[in-house]
């Protein structure tokens, strides 16, 4: 074995050692992340948030990491107790009111959505309104017309008991 072969063997051993250390760090990281998931959720009142955006939906995680070895090491064998919080697809009262105004004036463009939001104390940029409408498209609460405007779907009207009423914006 010459010097080059010895250098190759040394590099292989170093790579193997680094992989072992990386795997150990990944297990440590998974443990920390799992511990963070299991700590009590902070008490937040979503409708009083400064940006009017909904909080994250509560998850119902299994008390496992997906890694059997790590689960055994951490003693995870049962489901975690479900946390409370906003139901998937729930929206704030403020956004229900805005959807009601959209419904009353539909179809509406982004500029009108920004105006309707401002009437209800929510200052938005058009980019934020677009992001919200894309999210509501995914949830099935609004649909986009061929000219890029938005309409409230029957599903949202039913779910949030929206009523057609005159717009409060004066438009």
> Could you tell me the residue ranges of all domains in the chain?
3-74, 93-159
- Measured from the Cβ of residue 135, the count of other Cβ atoms closer than 10 Å reads 14
For the CA atoms of 63, 67, 72, 75, what is the dihedral angle to 10 degrees?
A: -20
Q: Which two tokens stand for residue 85?
A: 């919080």
Q: Phi/psi at 139 (nearest 5 deg)?
A: -80, -10
Query: Does CATH place domain 93-159 in 3.40.50.720?
Result: no
Give the whole-angstrom CA distance, residue 150 versus residue 169: 17
pLDDT of 55 over the 80 cut: no
Q: Is residue 54 very low, low, confident or very high in pLDDT (cuts 50, 70, 90)?
A: very low
Helix-helix angle 93-105:110-119, to 10 degrees: 130
**pLDDT tens per residue, range 102-111:** 999 889 999 9
Name the residue with tokens 């995680």: 61
Query: How do the residues of the chain divide into helix, strand and coil, expressed in percent and rounded to 5?
Result: 50, 5, 45
Give the whole-angstrom CA distance, residue 17 versus residue 28: 17
DSSP 12-79: HHHHHHHHHHHHHHHHHHHHHHHHHHHSPPP---GGG-TT-PPPPPPP---S--S-HHHHHHHT--SP
pLDDT value of residue 137: 93
**pLDDT tens per residue, range 130-161:** 999 999 999 999 999 999 999 999 999 998 88
Question: What is the average pLDDT value for the chain, to the nearest integer?
Answer: 77
Residue 141's nearest CA partner among 86, 90, 93 is 90
């Amino acid at each position: 074995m010459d010097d080059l072969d010895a250098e190759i063997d040394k590099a292989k051993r170093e790579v193997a050692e680094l992989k072992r250390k990386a795997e150990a760090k990944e297990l440590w990281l998974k443990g920390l992340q799992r511990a963070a998931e299991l700590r009590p959720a902070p008490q937040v009142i979503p409708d009083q948030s400064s940006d009017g955006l909904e909080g994250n939906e509560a998850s119902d995680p299994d008390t496992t990491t997906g890694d059997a070895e790590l689960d055994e090491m951490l003693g995870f064998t049962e489901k975690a107790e479900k946390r409370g919080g906003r139901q998937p697809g729930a929206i704030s009262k403020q956004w229900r009111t805005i959807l009601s105004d959209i419904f009353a004036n539909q179809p509406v463009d982004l500029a009108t959505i920004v105006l309707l939001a401002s009437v209800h104390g929510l200052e938005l940029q058009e980019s934020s309104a677009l992001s919200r409408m894309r999210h509501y498209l995914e949830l099935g609460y609004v649909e986009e017309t061929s000219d890029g405007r938005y309409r409230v779907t029957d599903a949202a009207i039913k779910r949030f008991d929206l009523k057609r009423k005159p717009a409060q914006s004066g438009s």
